[in-house]
Amino acid sequence: MQPLLRVDDLTVCYRSSDRGQFAALEGVTFDIATGEAVGLLGESGCGKTTLGLALLGLLPLSANITAGSAVFRGRNLLTLAERELRTVRGAEISMVHQEPGAALNPVLRVGEQVAGVLRAHKDLSCEQAREGAAALLAEVGLGQETYIEAAYPHQLSGGQQQRVAIAQAIACRPALVIADEPTTALDAITQLEILNLLNSLREKLRVALLLITHDPAVLMRAVDRVLVMRAGCLVEQGATSDVTQKPRHAYTQKLLNSTPAGQQRKRHSRRIVPLKMDVAPIFANLRTPQDLLDMHQSCGGELIGTSDRKASVPKENDESVAEPAYNAGPLIDPETLLRAANLHKRYLQGRWLSRRRHQVEALRGVGLTLRAGSTVALIGGSGSGKSTLARCLACFEKPDSGEIRFGGKDLAKLNGRELIPFRRQIQLLFQDPGSSLNPRFSAIEIVSEPLLTLNPGTKKQTRERALALIELVGLRAEWGQRLPHQFSAGQRRRLAIARALALEPKVLILDEALAGLDLPIQAQIADLLLELQSTLSLTYLYISHDLSLLAQLADQVAVLHQGQIVEAVTMPELFAKPRSPQARNLVGATLELKR
């Protein structure tokens, strides 16, 4: 049988700023059969996304396909005219982009965007397309009761945006879905739901899948074969079990065996009061997903799988039912650096004067305390209010009520000019780096901008510091003149980290800062963050869905659900005996995903 897609000797080159060329893909050859799931693993910048864009004719103008072919159902995709490619995109081959915030149209409601895909390829009325869009949004976990279809992309969380992008991709039931990090911004529960959805589509409709990811656990659960890419070349490929359990290439072994921050946490002396439980010995030896499972079971926890979701929700007469949501005070009593109390934030979604206009309670009485030199993790499902809380604490948005105490001042009551002295001390790393970086600035200008604004110096000093920060996060100094679109998504995350570190803040709020990065780079950035915390006594509020990573980095964890903190405990207590149903489901789904 002929494969559904056959890529042969594909070579793609980019023109660099000095008018030279470098190969992003070089001699790539593989095939995908009908209904088969193939995973693509590799570090950021190795060419994974370029491969997906090349197949759909979406490469930027600076790219040039110099050799190769990509035959899909008997047609070479690389030689098709733009009109022919339009009939292929969405209907036969669809793509879930890594940064949904940049892929979605900011001036159209998400329901209209999903309906637009249906109307572009099917003969449907406006009402039929709208109903189909609502059904697709419900299929990916966005029910009609949330009024998601009437919202604009910026009114949704990163996880909700990701699910809208997946709804678009599966709208016309294509033969091949190219999913570029489809689970990066999602909590473990939703990750399992999305992976199960993709698997069900494969079974029902024989949909083939090219899954691009940095997470080996996702590959082991979702694909039949794995391709490993390094510097634009495929260095290893084979069955998932063979590649993940017995990797032959040294590069593959490095990708699979890296562990974030394990050794670094043991080396650094933390400038904080010790916790009731000794965190370092418990978590320092975590190296593999199996270590996480063993640790959880040794603490007396039961493995909670999402396959039996009802079993993980306590009954009304169960003594283990968590206490009602509460306004969390200080997690531990030492020196307080930043304290938020009783924060409320509401948004309105829908058209003016419309009956469907809906008020969203993003924050409902949230209280949180950060002490100097500590790391507090914030977890919760997509849309629970984590990013809203981060923007309020960083003073990018004003809460409707409540206070944010920092340095003796209530930041919630200060105006723009009065906030200037505090801008340097509280920095926020946004969840979507593609939309937070100025597209017309070079890498050096992006990192230099806060230095020029709040800490003016000579041009030479500013440039040298910017280049040092760029190299510090694992980027090359010679890339300083590149624009953001000339970096991969993972490299843009590192560039955003360099910009946030430029002013040496006291509080660093990291909203999924390490999501989408391969394990070696995660380890590098995590070690860097711990090193800076040790030397500069930085305070971190880390928002993430990766509980394995948080176990290495955080001291305490707060669980956010529907705008309220429902549990605030130490990291060991979260894994040993989560009290709230939401925490139980998150821990159980994480263990199920890593299993």
More confident residue, 418 or 552: 418
SS3 call for 225 = strand
For the record, the structure tokens of 514 come out as 């390490």
Residue 80, sorted as left (phi over 0), alpha (psi -120 to 50) or beta, turns out to be beta
Look up residue 117 and give its DSSP letter.
Answer: H
**Would you give the distance in Å from CA 563 to the centre of its chain?**
20
Say how far apart CA 79 and CA 55 lie, in whole Å.
Answer: 11
Residue 206 confidence (pLDDT)? 83
For the stretch 578-592, pLDDT in tens is: 888 888 888 888 777
CATH class for domain 279-418+506-594? alpha beta
Q: Quick check: 178 and 95 in contact, CB under 8 A?
A: yes
Q: What are phi and psi of 350, to 5 degrees?
A: 110, 170
Neighbours of 427 (CB within 10 A): 22
Average pLDDT in the 451-458 region?
72
Of 99-103, 107-111, 262-266, 528-532, where does the model show the most confidence?
Answer: 107-111
Say how far apart CA 145 and CA 153 lie, in whole Å.
Answer: 17
Look up residue 89 and give its DSSP letter.
Answer: B
Residue 276 confidence (pLDDT)? 27
Say how far apart CA 462 and CA 421 lie, in whole Å.
Answer: 20
The domain ranges of the chain are: 5-107+159-257, 279-418+506-594, 435-504
For the chain, the helix, strand and coil percentages under 3-state DSSP, each to the nearest 5? 40, 25, 35
**Would you give the distance in Å from CA 372 to the centre of its chain?**
27
For the stretch 557-569, pLDDT in tens is: 999 998 899 999 8
Percent of the chain with pLDDT over 70: 82
Domains 5-107+159-257 and 279-418+506-594 share a fold: yes
Neighbours of 228 (CB within 10 A): 23
Sign of the Cα pseudo-torsion (306, 260, 556, 347, in order): negative
Say how far apart CA 249 and CA 405 lie, in whole Å.
Answer: 52
Position 362 confidence tier, pLDDT thresholds 50, 70, 90: confident
Residue 300 confidence (pLDDT)? 42
Residue 19 confidence (pLDDT)? 53
Q: Quick check: 37 and 103 in contact, CB under 8 A?
A: no
Position 222 confidence tier, pLDDT thresholds 50, 70, 90: confident
Q: Quick check: 181 and 516 in contact, CB under 8 A?
A: yes
Sorted by sequence, the CB contacts under 8 Å of residue 557 that are 6+ apart come out as 376, 377, 378, 379, 550, 568, 569, 570, 571, 574
H/E stretch holding 6 reads: strand 5-15
Look up residue 302 and give its DSSP letter.
Answer: P
Q: Quick check: 207 and 174 in contact, CB under 8 A?
A: yes
Neighbours of 322 (CB within 10 A): 18
Q: What is the Cα Rg of the chain in Å? A: 24
Alpha helices in 258-316 (DSSP H): 262-267, 279-283, 289-298
Residue 230 confidence (pLDDT)? 92
pLDDT beyond 90 at 345 = yes
**Torsion, CA 521, CA 524, CA 529, CA 530, rounded to 10:** 140
Average pLDDT in the 501-515 region?
85
Position 145 confidence tier, pLDDT thresholds 50, 70, 90: low
Average pLDDT in the 296-313 region?
37
Residue 352 confidence (pLDDT)? 56
Strand blocks (E) in 520-571:
539-543, 556-561, 564-570
Residue 595 confidence (pLDDT)? 66
Residue 188 confidence (pLDDT)? 79
For the record, the structure tokens of 492 come out as 């843009």
pLDDT beyond 70 at 267 = no
**Would you give the distance in Å from CA 266 to the centre of its chain?**
27
Sign of the Cα pseudo-torsion (130, 132, 133, 135, in order): positive
Q: Quick check: 110 and 153 in contact, CB under 8 A?
A: yes
Say how far apart CA 512 and CA 545 lie, in whole Å.
Answer: 8
User: Which of 131-140, 303-312, 425-434, 440-449 is least confident?
Assistant: 303-312
Residue 454 confidence (pLDDT)? 67
Strand blocks (E) in 106-241:
176-180, 208-213, 225-230, 233-239
Position 25 confidence tier, pLDDT thresholds 50, 70, 90: very high
pLDDT beyond 60 at 286 = no
User: Which of 66-70, 156-160, 285-289 is least confident?
Assistant: 285-289
For the record, the structure tokens of 487 come out as 């970096």
Average pLDDT in the 322-348 region?
65
Residue 353 confidence (pLDDT)? 52
Alpha helices in 268-396 (DSSP H): 279-283, 289-298, 386-393
Q: Quick check: 216 and 244 in contact, CB under 8 A?
A: yes
Average pLDDT in the 132-156 region?
80
Return the CATH architecture of domain 5-107+159-257: 3-Layer(aba) Sandwich (3.40)
